[in-house]
Amino acid sequence: MTARRTGWGCAALLASAILSGCGGEDFTPAEKATIASLSLADLPPLPADPTNKYADDPAAAALGATLFFDQRMSRDSVVACGTCHLIDRQFQDDLARGKGAGVSNRRTMPLAGVAWSPWMFWDGRRDSLWSQALTPLEDQREHAATRAFYAHFVADSFNERYQRIFGPLPDLASVPPDAGPFGTEPQKAAWNAMSAGQQEAVNRVFANLGKAIGAFERSLAPQETRFDRFAAALASGKSTGADAKLTAEEIAGLKLFIGKANCSTCHNGPRFTDDGFHNTGVPAVEGLPEDLGRATGATQVAADPFNCLGAFSDAGPEACGELRFMVKDSPRLTRAYKPPSLRGAATRPPYMHSGQFATLDEVIDHYARAPAAPSGASELHPLTLSERERQQLIAFLKTLAN
């Protein structure tokens, strides 16, 4: 019945300020194409991860899920990945800066759809899920333990499960209980005193833990939202149930988002990110060390021994195009960050890489003003947005969160 609603039926819907697209006559063909490209229906299949041959092994993913939530995976047995990446909070923690053994300099990132992302972290300093997972484990502000500690932990607590997936564990009898290249001075000294063979054996177990966790994280897919139901109805030309409708204000916000406000220049595709790095002039946080974003991240991912080209990657160099051909030394990388997905963003303040903004009003105000960047050059241009238009943009962002 609703499918036949055209003509006066559409006018009646307009009158109640609820639009469904009414067959789509409210949008230009270009707008319709852009809306379709933002819809979850356009999400490509889960990309393969050739760097991790266990990426699609269910036993590895199950072990990874266990490790993700296991607080024993830390110096004091109180921090798990799930401490900051909360399962019922879109895998983030609502804090300006993540809190583990200490306080991180950056905000915890939500994880839905992360397997589609070529670069990890706000600055892309890792190029795979498994190499990313190794980083917080050895960060003094996060899990704060060492790779030798984790190797022993797995041998003690997950021996059989590990060996069923990854094959025999190395003999760790002569490996010190607590040693790693990023630990305290004694932990670093213990690491440096180990033979190359011992270091390689521990690195292999450590990399495999990352591969199990990475396999688990591949299951965290973005969820369908009201916007997606609306986009599907628009694409099919049929108006459907009430849950596929957007209000006039939400539609106006959508038109601003893909039009005059230029948001979809960077927040595009079904994950609302172009997977690149942009300087948007977000202010620095007083008291934190200088943060140069991608300028540092590009150097770090190139030097990471666990990257796509490294000894622990299962991929040949031909699979490492992103890493081999990345931009490494452009002034545009200074304070450039990865545009986060905007799916779910409306319900998880604060915003930006160190939680600089407390509300979406502050975010929109920042985009309207387009202030000069603390360093490097902001890519933004000031926008003239009325108060009503600002609220329309926010109303649209909320359709991505339910």
The residues that touch ligand HEC, with contacts defined as CB under 6 A, are 79, 81, 83-85, 98-100, 104, 106-109, 111, 114, 117, 120-123, 129, 132-133, 136-137, 142-143, 213, 261-263, 265-267, 278, 280, 282, 337, 339-340, 342, 345, 351-353, 363, 367, 379-380, 393
Minimal distance, residue 342 CB to ligand HEC, in Å: 6
Residues 212 and 69: beta-carbon distance below 8 Å: no
Q: 119, exposed or middle or buried, with CB in 10 Å at 0-12, 13-18, 19+?
A: buried
As measured in angstroms, the least distance from the Cβ of 238 to ligand HEC is: 29
Q: What distances in angstroms separate CA 193 from CA 173, 186, 196, one per listed residue? A: 15, 10, 9
**Contact status, residue 300 vs residue 69, Cβ threshold 8 Å:** no
Q: Least distance from C-beta 240 to ligand HEC, angstroms? A: 27
- Gap between the Cα atoms of 192 and 185, Å rounded: 10
Minimum distance of ligand HEC from residue 106's CB (angstroms): 4
The letter for the amino acid at 296 is: T
CA dihedral 311, 312, 316, 317 (to 10 degrees): -60
Beta carbon nearer to ligand HEC, 146 or 239: 146
The closest of 252, 222, 187 to 19, measured between CA atoms, is 252
Please identify, using beta-carbon distances, which residue of 119 and 230 lies nearer to ligand HEC: 119
Q: Is 127 or 228 the residue whose CB approaches ligand HEC more closely?
A: 127
Closer to ligand HEC at the Cβ: 156 or 361?
Answer: 361
Place of tokens 């172009």: 274
Check if the beta carbon of residue 298 is closer than 8 Å to that of residue 287.
no
Least CB distance to ligand HEC at residue 311 (A): 21
Are the C-beta atoms of residues 355 and 95 closer than 8 Å to each other?
yes
* Comparison of 32 and 99: residue with beta carbon closer to ligand HEC: 99
The residue among 153 and 239 lying less far from ligand HEC, judged by its C-beta, is 153
Minimum CB separation of residue 202 from ligand HEC in Å reads 17
CB of 280: closest distance to ligand HEC in angstroms? 5
How far is the C-alpha of 167 from the C-alpha of 145, rounded, in Å? Answer: 24
Could you tell me if 138 and 146 are in contact, meaning their C-beta atoms sit under 8 angstroms apart? yes
Q: Which is nearer to ligand HEC, 83 or 225 (CB)?
A: 83
CB of 6 to ligand HEC, least distance (A): 32
Nearer to ligand HEC, 229 or 390 (CB): 390
Cα-Cα-Cα-Cα dihedral of 379, 97, 110, 129, to 10°? 90
Closest to 158 in 3D by CA, of 209, 215, 197: 209
Tell me how far, at minimum, the Cβ of 272 lies from ligand HEC, in Å.
8
Residue 393 near residue 262, CB atoms below 8 Å: no
Nearer to ligand HEC, 98 or 310 (CB): 98
C-alpha–C-alpha distance, residues 108 and 105, integer Å: 10
Cα distances (Å, whole numbers) of residue 56 to 64, 217, 317, 353, 401: 12, 11, 21, 30, 28
